[in-house]
Amino acid sequence: MAKTLFDKIWDKHVVQKIEEGPSVLYIDKHFIHEVTSPQAFNGIEKRGLKVFRPQQVVATADHNVPTLNQHLPIKDELSRLQVEQLIENCKKHNIELYGLGHPFQGIVHVIGPELGITQPGMTIVCGDSHTSTHGAFGAIAFGIGTSEVEMVFASQCVLQTKPKLMRINIEGELPNSVVSKDIILYIISKITSSGATGYFVEYAGAAIRSLSMEARMTICNMSIEMGARGGMIAPDDTTFAYIKGRQFAPGEKQWEQKLNEWKQLYSDVDSVFDIEININASEIEPMITYGTNPGLGIAINGLIPVTDTIPDEGERKNIIKALQYMGLESGKPLLGMPVQHVFIGSCTNSRIEDLRLVAALVKGRQKNKNVQVMIVPGSQQVAKQVHAEGLDKIFIEAGFEIRQAGCSACLGMNEDKIPAGEYCISTSNRNFEGRQGAGARTLLASPLTAAAAAITGVVTDIRELI
Amino acid sequence: MTPLKKINSRFVPLPMENVDTDQIIPARFLKATTRDGFGKNLFRDWRYENNDDTKPKKDFVLNKSDYSGEVLIAGKNFGCGSSREHAAWALQDYGFKAVVSSFFADIFKNNALNNGVLPVKVSDDFLVKLFALGNEATISIDIDKQTITIDATGAQEIFDINVYKKTCLLNGYDDIDYLINNRQAIEAFERIP
Ligand code: SF4
DSSP A403-436: --SS-GGGSTTSS--PPTT-EEEESSS---TTTT
CA dist A212 to A177, A207, A240, A286, Å? 15, 11, 11, 18
Nearest CA to ligand 1 atom 4: A347
Judging contacts by C-beta atoms under 8 Å, the chain B residues touching residue A82 are 31, 33
* Arithmetic mean of pLDDT over chain B: 95
A49 shares contact with chain B (CB less than 8 Å): yes
**To 10 degrees, what angle do helices A38-46 and A146-155 make?**
50
Q: Is the pLDDT of residue B2 over 90?
A: no
Residue range A97-114: mean pLDDT, rounded:
97
Q: What is the pLDDT of residues A259-294, one digit of tens each?
A: 999 999 999 999 999 999 999 999 999 999 999 999
Q: What percent of chain B has pLDDT over 70?
A: 100
Instruction: Please work out whether the CB of residue A347 comes within 6 Å of at least one atom of ligand 1.
Output: yes
DSSP conformation class of A200: E
Report the residue among A79, A108, A411, A415 best suited for mutation to probe ligand 1: largest number of ligand atoms under 8 A from its CB: A411
Separation of alpha carbons B100 and B111, rounded Å:
15
Q: What is the pLDDT of residues A44-55, one digit of tens each?
A: 999 999 999 999
Q: What is the pLDDT of residues A62-96, one digit of tens each?
A: 999 999 999 999 999 999 999 999 999 999 999 99
Residue range B44-50: mean pLDDT, rounded:
93
Separation of alpha carbons A294 and B148, rounded Å:
32
Residue range B170-190: mean pLDDT, rounded:
93
* Arithmetic mean of pLDDT over chain A: 97
Query: Shortest Cα distance from B53 to chain A (angstroms)?
Result: 14
Query: Shortest Cα distance from B186 to chain A (angstroms)?
Result: 6
Amino acid A148: pLDDT: 97
* Whole-number CA gyration radius for chain A: 21
Q: Is the pLDDT of residue A112 over 90?
A: yes
> Nearest-CA neighbor of B90 among A61, A146, A224?
A146
Amino acid B16: pLDDT: 94
Amino acid B51: pLDDT: 83
Q: What is the pLDDT of residues B51-82, one digit of tens each?
A: 889 999 999 999 999 999 999 999 999 999 99
Separation of alpha carbons A229 and A249, rounded Å:
26
Amino acid B48: pLDDT: 95
Separation of alpha carbons B144 and B96, rounded Å:
19
Q: Is A46 helix (H, G, I), strand (E, B) or coil?
A: helix
Q: Is the pLDDT of residue B160 over 90?
A: yes
* Ligand 1 atom with the shortest distance to the CA of A345: 1
User: Are the C-beta atoms of A393 and A418 separated by less than 8 Å?
Assistant: no
Q: What is the pLDDT of residues B98-110, one digit of tens each?
A: 999 999 999 999 9
Cα A90 to averaged position of ligand 1 atoms, centre (Å): 21
Q: What is the pLDDT of residues A353-380, one digit of tens each?
A: 999 999 999 999 999 999 999 999 999 9
Q: Is the pLDDT of residue A20 over 90?
A: no
Judging contacts by C-beta atoms under 8 Å, the chain A residues touching residue B104 are 197
Q: What is the pLDDT of residues A293-346, one digit of tens each?
A: 999 999 999 999 999 999 998 899 999 999 999 999 999 999 999 999 999 999
pTM: 0.96
Residue range A216-221: mean pLDDT, rounded:
98
Query: Shortest Cα distance from A463 to chain B (angstroms)?
Result: 31
Q: Is the pLDDT of residue A115 over 90?
A: yes
pLDDT band at A155 (very low <50, low <70, confident <90, very high): very high
pLDDT band at A383 (very low <50, low <70, confident <90, very high): very high
Instruction: Please work out whether the CB of residue A107 comes within 6 Å of at least one atom of ligand 1.
Output: yes
ipTM surpasses cut 0.85: yes
Strands (E), chain B: 6-9, 11-14, 71-74, 98-101, 118-121, 139-142, 147-150, 156-158
Amino acid A235: pLDDT: 98
Residue range A215-240: mean pLDDT, rounded:
98
* Ligand 1 atom with the shortest distance to the CA of A348: 4
Check CB contact under 8 Å for B18 and A21: no
Give the nearest chain A residue to B188 (CA atoms): A15
* Whole-number CA gyration radius for chain B: 18
Q: Is the pLDDT of residue B174 over 90?
A: no
pLDDT band at A167 (very low <50, low <70, confident <90, very high): very high
Q: Is the pLDDT of residue B50 over 90?
A: no
- Which helix (DSSP H) or strand (DSSP E) does residue A193 occupy? none
Left if phi > 0, otherwise alpha if psi is -120 to 50, otherwise beta: which for A269? alpha
